[in-house]
Structure 1
Amino acid sequence: MEPFKVHILGCGSALPTLKHYASSQVVEVRKKLFMIDCGEGTQMQLRRSRIRFTKINHIFISHLHGDHCLGLIGMLSTFGMLGRTAPMHIFATEELGPILKSSLAAFCSGLDYEICFHPIDTAKSTVIYEDRSLTVTTIPLNHRMPCCGFLFKEKPTMPHIRRDIIDLYGIPVSQIDNIKNGHDWTTEDGDVIPNSKLTTPADPVRSYAYCSDTRYIPGLHKLISGASTLYHESTYANDNQRMAIKYKHSTAEEAARTALAAGVKQLVLGHYSSRYEDETILLNEARAVFENTILSDEMAVIDV
């Protein structure tokens, strides 16, 4: 199977610490790289991860709190100094448009590449990016300002050809596409070779749901049902439930309840409050509800 991975560059919340950077991730799907959020320090983390800057052509910003976007201008400037010529596509709420324009004029004049800004509506679940192998859909969230998550989902692929059977019956290459599309093969003697013998099933469709920042949403599971991997903010443990309600964040237990209801295969916690020097309390509270839960951490690479 082609790689589908998530590179964690930062998984802390609003207050930077010596342990965690602000939110940023790179999603790697079939050799394409997509960035989600760009908090302070993102470009330094890119350096550490050895991710190739030139392969990032799309950046998705969940909302305009600083810990999710303050690293953007500096990174775009660095891309320019490195001689970038390929366009950069940025997806975010409409409010970022004029901020981005003025900041680029002030700090990044003379870039040799185009910045393509795509305003998104965080209140709707809409496909905002699509190519031959992937769609990216917005996930409306409930935060203190317009905010959405993103669902990266592979498109179904064709069945795999059994080369040994193809060679056995001398089936010409010109018929491979027909067989992939479900056709049987009839030999010169009139024997029908069923498609099920000529192929093996296609790879299962994988998907990655990114949900940060948000208050617990009882119906969120419907939009991410069956996701292979869910990253859900877990800013607080149950000891700070009031803070979660006040600032519209989630507890680790609430993240786990969403994962359970959605039937995801794996839950990844992140966006930790700086008050927790040890996130084990978050992991334990989530695993009590949804066992297949892990903690995100800087430089972690998670297979979707």
Structure 2
Amino acid sequence: MQDFISTRDLSAASIYNILETAEAMRFKQNFIQGGKFAANLFFEPSTRTKTSFQVAEQNLGINALDFHLEGSSVVKGESLYDTARTYEAIGADLLVVRHACDHWHDQLVGRISTPIINAGAGKGEHPTQSMLDLLTIYQEFGSFENLNIAIAGDIKHSRVARSNAYALTTLGANVCFAAAPGFEDESWDIPYVSIDEACDSCDVVMLLRIQHERHASVPYQTRTYLTDYGLTIDRERRMQNHAIVLHPAPVNRGVEMDTRLVECDRSRIFKQMENGVYTRMAIITILLNQWGGNHENFTEKCQTIAT
């Protein structure tokens, strides 16, 4: 695979290759040789993803070409394609793109001669977030086969839910959704359960933020959301002893989860953020290897993503 766009493109073997490479990245850095450049084209606000990519690139010895939407030619009407081609022409060896359009990558894939990483596509997918979520689960359980994993929250508008549902199903996990009325996405052949059922029976409960910015109508009222659909103290106490809580963040404290649970013993939220650096280092290394990059001591680990 030439680009990293969707978890639907990944086999189980490909995912495990990314996870194992990411684990190896924890112990050695500065793999990339030859003065590579990466363009981080973020057309939407981001804290964790953008910073994580910047740290990953720096750890690999890659020079980051930053991009600020408000100071770019986009405000003059430049298209995504022309922006990408500009960075390619200037010398970028890698494009990392986040954009509000669900299918922005259709404008670039096959038309750009550098690898492209999807850092978030509207309500579509967020595959690098999925990989760091998977790494966190893998570190905890060592396998995905028959794990019971609930994704709870604004399923309808969540790119995180989509990427994780594809990947977890590929890996053999039992995935279920939990959502407030109106937050369901019935296009999925995945069962829905109540948040109480999810907390009582699942090994992993992955909470999602309400995507207010993607609701076309009146913003969803959150006054009773925690009590009705979120992770309360009582629900957390009923979880199995080994069960863990994930959240892609940012967390709306007191909405999707009680603020006291954000850093509780079973929360892995900040561990996810740490793992984001290693998984993104792995994805970049594997892609550049696929494109013929020069990588010190990691050729055997950096096989093609696709089977």
Higher percent of residues as helix: 2
Taking structure 1 as the reference length, the TM-score comes to: 0.31
Taking structure 2 as the reference length, the TM-score comes to: 0.31
Which is bigger in relative contact order (C-alpha 8 A, separation at least 6)? 2
